[in-house]
């Protein structure tokens, strides 16, 4: 194996990527002779079994990612995360911290649907936005897309079975419910060391273009650590978002808070808003956090939030630029 591939894999392990993703950074190798057909047959059975079980299929709460977190995928340096980002009630299978942080930001920016590890099937298959317009559209397979680019699509290592490529995150509904955005989450330090990893990013980009989706390669360099830290703290339950988002109670509370926050510290404004709108809650900051998450309360999340001080307002350009980055210029 070329040294560049070994270096890329080592970096991926250090970054906490789970075992199933490491093969993407390595050159395909195939045994010769009788072992080839045996390996291929076993892999074909595995793929067929996964498809019959629904892997990589479904929508919303019923979606099943192509690669799911399992106990045997863990390692001493693994950051795999099984958690919610408040878009769906179900938890998501994030195979790196970068995927989780990117999904969390996109959820805050208004994404309505999230499918992690979405297969870009090798052959012609239903369009990934089919469920949004109830059409019967199909899209060409990744083998054809790869051939057009002059990139070897590749097989599962040691077999002649075409591998099932997947894009890390596929989102919809940030502004237009039918708009799709595909995101490849790979640190630049990894892709710089592996030609194969670079080709995978290009395949992601070409696939997104083929299905009419905006594509973004997130390296993690532009993600503000404090912004992510604050989002993890603010993140509500998906059920809370559904319960309060359109409620008069939240609207009245936010209006009251914003009024008191003009001349009082956050803590005092929260207390006065709760009193004025008759909010009784063991957690007096619940609706306040929800108001921030839904962008009804303007606050700068790139700095520590100190409730004993006056609220610091956010830069509208910061969120607008994030939306353009993750969802495309039309979603600014």
Q: Cα dist. 73→76, 80, 184, 199 in Å?
A: 10, 9, 20, 24
Alpha-carbon gap, residue 141 to 268, rounded angstroms: 57
User: Residue 25: is it exposed, middle or buried by C-beta count within 10 angstroms (0-12/13-18/19+)?
Assistant: buried
Q: Cα dist. 65→56, 124, 198 in Å?
A: 5, 19, 23
Mean pLDDT of 295-307: 95
Domain range list for the chain:
3-218, 225-331
Q: φ, ψ for residue 135 (rounded to 5)?
A: -85, 180
First-residue to last-residue Cα distance in the chain: 44
Alpha carbon of residue 293 to chain centroid = 17
Q: What percent of the chain has pLDDT over 70?
A: 83
Q: Cα dist. 164→11, 23, 99, 315 in Å?
A: 23, 12, 19, 41
- Band (pLDDT 50/70/90 cuts) for residue 76 is very low
Q: What count of other Cβ atoms lies within 10 Å of the Cβ of residue 171?
A: 28
Classify 146 as helix, strand or coil: helix
Look at residue 315 in the predicted model and tell me its pLDDT.
80
Alpha-carbon gap, residue 171 to 184, rounded angstroms: 12
Look at residue 214 in the predicted model and tell me its pLDDT.
95
- CATH second-level architecture of 3-218? 3-Layer(aba) Sandwich (3.40)
Q: Which of 67, 72, 60, 49 is nearest to 167 (CA)?
A: 67
Provide DSSP, 116-161. EEEEE-SS-EE-TTHHHHT---EE--HHHHHHHHT----BSTTSSS
Look at residue 190 in the predicted model and tell me its pLDDT.
87
Cβ distance 284 to 269 under 8 Å?
A: no
Cβ distance 27 to 5 under 8 Å?
A: yes
The DSSP bridge pattern shows strands 138-139 and 214-218 to be unpaired
Q: Which of 24, 25, 13 is nearest to 77 (CA)?
A: 13
H or E element, residue 287: helix 286-293
- The residue ranking higher by pLDDT, 165 or 160, is 165
The greatest distance separating any two alpha carbons of the chain, rounded to the nearest whole angstrom, comes to 79
Each residue of 239-255: pLDDT tens digit? 999 999 999 999 999 99
- pTM of the entire structure? 0.86
Q: Is it the case that residue 18 has pLDDT exceeding 70? A: no
Each residue of 200-220: pLDDT tens digit? 999 999 999 999 999 999 999
């Amino acid at each position: 194996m070329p040294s560049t591939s070994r270096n890329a894999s080592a970096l991926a392990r250090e970054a906490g990527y789970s075992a199933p993703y490491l093969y993407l950074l390595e050159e395909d190798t195939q045994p010769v002779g009788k072992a080839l057909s045996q390996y291929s047959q076993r892999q074909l059975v595995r793929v067929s079994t996964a498809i019959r079980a629904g892997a990589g299929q479904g929508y919303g709460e019923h979606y099943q990612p192509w690669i799911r977190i399992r106990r045997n995928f863990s390692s001493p340096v693994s950051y795999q995360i099984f958690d919610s980002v408040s878009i769906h009630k179900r938890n998501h299978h994030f195979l790196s911290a970068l995927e989780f942080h990117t999904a969390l930001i996109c959820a805050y920016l208004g994404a309505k649907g999230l499918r992690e590890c979405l297969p870009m099937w090798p052959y012609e298959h239903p369009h990934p936005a089919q469920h949004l317009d109830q059409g019967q559209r199909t899209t060409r397979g990744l083998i054809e897309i790869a051939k057009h680019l002059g990139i070897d699509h590749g097989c599962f290592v040691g077999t002649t079975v075409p591998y099932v490529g997947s894009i890390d995150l596929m989102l919809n509904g940030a502004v237009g419910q039918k708009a799709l955005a595909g995101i490849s989450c790979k640190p630049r330090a990894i892709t710089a060391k592996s030609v194969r990893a670079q080709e995978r990013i290009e395949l992601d980009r070409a696939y997104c273009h083929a299905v009419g989706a905006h594509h973004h390669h997130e390296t993690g360099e532009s993600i503000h650590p404090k912004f992510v830290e604050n989002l993890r703290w603010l993140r509500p339950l998906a059920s809370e978002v559904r319960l309060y988002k359109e409620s008069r109670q939240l609207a009245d509370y936010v209006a009251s808070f914003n009024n008191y926050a003009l001349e009082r510290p956050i803590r005092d404004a929260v207390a006065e808003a709760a009193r004025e709108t008759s909010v009784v809650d063991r957690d007096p900051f619940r609706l306040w956090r929800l108001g921030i998450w839904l962008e009804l309360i303007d606050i700068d999340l790139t700095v520590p939030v100190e409730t004993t001080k006056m609220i610091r307002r956010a830069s509208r350009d910061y969120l607008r630029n994030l939306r353009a980055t993750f969802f495309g210029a039309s979603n600014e």
